[in-house]
Chain A
Amino acid sequence: MTERPKAARGVFALLAGPPLVWLALFFVLPLVIILGYALGENRSLTDIAITGSFRNFGRALQPVYLGVLGKSLWFAALTTIACLVIGFPVAMAIAFAPARWRLALLLLVMLPFWVNLLIRTYALMAVLRPEGYINSLIKLVWPAAWLGDFVPLDLLHNNAAVIIGLVYVQLPFMVLPLYAALDRLDRSLIEASLDLGAGQLTSFARITVPLAMPGIIAGIIITFVPTLGAYLTPDLLGGTSSQMIANVIDRQFRSANDWPFGAALSFILMALALVAMALQGLVTRRGRA
């Protein structure tokens, strides 16, 4: 069992080789280049010298950038919590629905993937803007005689709009792993809990949630990490004060033409994502021990 025949090893190398080359060329190499930039400085408009200085990382610790980083973490956390709170009942409803309904309901959850993110974001703008669907609807039923003329709500270009947009984009990523975990859950465990005198809420808290924990953690990771680096949603739905870290990075590479600083910020974002995943891994392991 432990000793693999030579032929098998050859097949393994043949199969693993191309993907490894691909990863090295298009993932590891660009990362190394970016790291080089992050440790360099601008010499002229197009020339970057790799000096090995940590000056760019030091600059990222200035309050203005720390503020953006903090806001990104805060937005990502809020979005993840909102997705979990909305997604859990949805996932439960699908998992506990009659078998013939489940596929259709899952397709409904995945339906947004069929439309390009940019188009979906513009659609959301059409819903939220001052003359948008929500405001028009309220205006339609607004009792102007009592309350005076309707002043459209400011729903777009603020932090709330960014959170709404992020939740809208990320929700399917939360629902799917939750559904997978709840679908695997043995129903007789919930029945046993009820049979032993626990009410529906107690059974949910003590049996359903702990056993769905792998799905909850997977959902949190694949919601939190992409949200932390969200670019399009804050760019289109946010106001001047709702910029997230990805928007700042974008500005360094394009308008500010400061690639070394943009590269340093990119590395900090990546490190934050890694720390978040490591923390979640730690929590999982402690939960199992």
Chain B
Amino acid sequence: MAAPPIICFDNVSKFHGPVRAVDGVSLDIREGEFFALLGPSGCGKTSLLRLVAGLEMPSAGRVLIDGVDVAGVPANRRPVNMVFQGLALFPHMTVAENIGYGLKVAGVAPAETADRVADALALVKLVGLGQRRPDQLSGGQRQRVALARALIKRPRVLLLDEPLSALDAKLREAMRAELAQLQADVGITFLMVTHDQDEALAMADRCAVLNHGRVEQVAAPAALYEMPASRFVADFIGGVNVFEGRLLVALPGPASIAATDLDVPLRLDITAPPPGTPFWVALRPERIALYRRGPGDAAAPVADTDHNHAAGIVRHIAYRGSASLYHVALGNGRIVQVLRPNGLPGAPADFVMAEPVWLTWAATAPTLLFA
């Protein structure tokens, strides 16, 4: 069922002097998927991309494209093309010359080059701009030229190095959908590098989260968010509250767990970890609800025992339009982040600073982390 990987990193390392930019990475990219390498700056993601492009050579391990070890194959002979971070459009050539460059140097006949450049211009919706110079285009148009230039040679894999970083926020949002649509249209495997988790989650079929040159987790966007493998992934993908945990009682059903910096025991609807294992509890801010009345209150909205409750005081409110992020201080001073949608019909009035509140979350809401 699983097709052979189109790109395979086999225990690849890349050292820049004493710095381990890539440290023993093994990773398979499947044919036809949109794969994102996600991580903070300096995590080695760009090095991985350049190793595939042939612009860098691995210090150890192998890079395979279509099952073939590409060690010793120079960049200009690899069946991959790249969209560079700064786009790297040739400033002394027109848009059409830029897009046709790969065909021209490959010796493709001028007539066929012209046809394919016209097709490429149509593909990225730049018809009529072929005679412009790159500096006469908007940021979004330059982006499309870089895409067309890299796609015209019909590479096995399109490499994208922070492809949207040169655009302003509004355009970036629009280009995300367009890029994902383009990938579906051309059917070429996309391997993208980004530090922007929203970008990766919005576009990619699968993501690898990298940290200090190592792979932390490889998963589909939803799985990364819902089931992070480590504190680093949980923290890097979206906001999260992380508590250090200690097992109190493991029942056949929900386990009861004490978090050292949470002043109430947690009820978790999960299999308990073996005693003595260090672990952490991750709780997404949007999984916590805020109420004015608690479980002891007769008129409390949620008193059921499947939920966890904690009392706190609102310390800070970050208004974000559709939602607000509340910083709530628990009795022991620990700050918990709660994301609450604004303007929902029938919702109680907004909470205010210094207001005493109850935090409530389901026993199924938290995730256990063991790293």
A residues with CB within 8 A of B: 186, 188-189, 191-199, 202, 206-207, 210-211
Contact = CB atoms under 8 A, between A and B. Distances in A.
B88 A198 contact: no
A194 B238 CA distance: 37
A192 to B, nearest CB: 4
A194 B76 contact: yes
Contacts, number: 63
A191 B75 contact: yes
Given A188-B84, A202-B105, A195 B90 contact: no
Contact of B92 (A188, A194, A196, A211): A211
Most buried by A among B74, B82, B85: B82
A195 B75 contact: yes
Nearest to A210: B92
A188 B162 CA distance: 14
Given A188-B84, A191-B55, A198 B105 contact: yes
Interface string B101-143: 1100110000000000000000000000000000000000000
Interface in B239-266: none
A199 B76 contact: yes
Given A194-B55, A198-B101, A189 B90 contact: yes
A198 B81 CA distance: 12
Nearest to B84: A188
B86 interface: yes
A6 B80 CA distance: 62
Looking at B76, B80, B81, B106, the one whose CB has the most chain A CB atoms below 10 A away is: B76
Contact of B74 (A192, A194, A207, A210): A194
A196 B105 contact: yes
B25 interface: no
Dominant secondary structure of chain A at its interface with chain B: helix
A206 B86 CA distance: 20
B297 to A, nearest CB: 63
B76 A207 contact: no
Contacts of B72: none
Nearest to A191: B55
22 contacts: A191-B53, A191-B75, A191-B88, A192-B82, A192-B88, A193-B90, A194-B54, A194-B74, A194-B76, A195-B54, A195-B55, A195-B75, A195-B81, A195-B150, A196-B76, A196-B153, A197-B76, A197-B102, A197-B106, A198-B105, A202-B105, A210-B92
Interface residues of B, number: 24
B62 interface: no
Interface of B: 53-55, 74-77, 80-82, 84-86, 88, 90-92, 101-102, 105-106, 149-150, 153
Contacts of A199: 76, 105
Contacts of B85: 188
A198 B92 contact: no
Query: Which 3 pairs between the two chains have the least Cβ-Cβ distance?
Result: A196-B102, A192-B88, A198-B105
Contact of B90 (A192, A194, A197, A202): A192
Contact of B88 (A189, A197, A202, A206): A189
A40 B76 CA distance: 67
B153 A207 contact: no
Best-surrounded residue of B54, B90, B153 (most CB of chain A within 10 A): B90
Given A191-B84, A191-B88, A196-B153, 7 more contacts: A188-B85, A191-B82, A194-B54, A194-B55, A195-B81, A195-B82, A197-B77
Contacts of B106: 197
A211 B90 CA distance: 9
Contacts of A193: 90, 101, 105
